[in-house]
Amino acid sequence: MSCIVKVDASLIDSGVYADVVALLKSRSEAWFITQGWRDQLTEQAGYNKFISDPVHNPKYTHPSNSAHVGANFPDGKSRAVDITLVIAGKDDWDYTHPAWQALIAQINAHPRLHSGVWFADPDHIEKVHWQRDKGI
Ligand SMILES: [Zn+2]
């Protein structure tokens, strides 16, 4: 149906971006890409908040372990995005919703994308084996 991009697509690995947009556009629901590239300070601040209260804060990791942080890659581009399902104009974070479940199944079957569902972050999509791109 639709994929609204709320981030700077030029800062996301072009292959990851193309795969995610194609996947979201193939669905019958509305999806937003809400996060892409991050700098180290933003990731660290999010991580500090997350570890202080993991139940109520979005999941972040240490900057050196994040596929969002461009500084981890020679080309400076993110290998991950975060998305949300939008129903009647509102974000829907109920991951038991059939649309979320179907999308996660599609990601799990995708040859180049990996779902954050495997580490309790279902709205996160990253490149398979993104760590191999670090090289710095
Ligand atoms: Zn993420």
What does the pLDDT look like over 27-56, one tens digit per residue?
A: 999 999 999 999 999 999 999 999 999 999
pLDDT in tens, 86-136: 999 999 999 999 999 999 999 999 999 999 999 999 999 999 999 999 976
Class in CATH terms, 2-135: alpha beta
- Nearest CA to 47 out of 30, 65, 74, 24 is that of 65
> How much distance in Å is there from the Cα of 11 to the middle of ligand 1?
14
- Do the beta carbons of residue 35 and residue 12 sit within 8 Å? no
**pLDDT score for 13:** 98
d(CA 60, ligand 1 centre) in Å: 7
What is the model's pLDDT at position 95? 96
Q: Give the Å distance between the CA of 14 and the centre of ligand 1.
A: 17
pLDDT range class, residue 17, cuts 50, 70, 90: very high
| CA separation for the pair 9, 29 (Å, rounded) | 21
Q: Kindly give the distance from the C-alpha atom of residue 1 to the centroid of ligand 1, in angstroms, as a whole number.
A: 22
